[in-house]
Amino acid sequence: MNELIFLRRPGAEVGEQREYRSTFEVEPFDLHGRHHEVTDAEAEVTVTRLSDGVHLDLEVRATVHTTCDRTLQPVELPMRFGDSEFVSRPNDEELAVKDWMLDVPGYARRALPTEIPMQVFAPGTEPVRPADEEEELDPRWSGLRGLFGPDR
């Protein structure tokens, strides 16, 4: 499918709804000190004609390939994000809309960096914790120790 979706069709009735599905490519990028490659990017878009504009429901799914911050091993992050917005103007930079045309890859390029966590860990890696360190209780709270049971 074409990666540009025309949002405002001449002659469309108020309440008319159109659905689109798009697969596209996103260029690799660097973020948080790691290289990210995006595969299997696809979007589902629903456009509903309203009297003053259009309502846009957009959901993007993609797989981001990056590295684990702890082991530096490859990690796949399944991503799912989107927007549900009323578009009343022909241009909306935040949604990658220009002249009533939605640029699906442009939207994904803009939104992906905000969806990727700052730290990525491979499945099975454990958080680093101090070895056998007892939690020290503030002595001012010692009077409450027996309030909730013998072990607390």
In total, how many domains does the chain have? Answer: 1
Q: What is the pLDDT of residue 134?
A: 66
59 three-state secondary structure? strand
Q: What is the pLDDT of residue 140?
A: 84
- What amino acid occupies position 59? E
36 three-state secondary structure? strand
Q: What is the pLDDT of residue 147?
A: 78
Determine what percent of the chain is predicted with pLDDT higher than 70.
90
- For residue 117, CA distances in Å to 22, 34, 93, 120 come to 25, 11, 24, 6
Q: Is the model's pTM score more than 0.85?
A: no
136 lies in some domain: no
Q: What is the pLDDT of residue 1?
A: 46
Q: What is the pLDDT of residue 85?
A: 95
138 lies in some domain: no
41 lies in some domain: yes
Q: Which domain holds residue 28?
A: 4-123
pLDDT < 50: residue spans in the chain: 1, 152
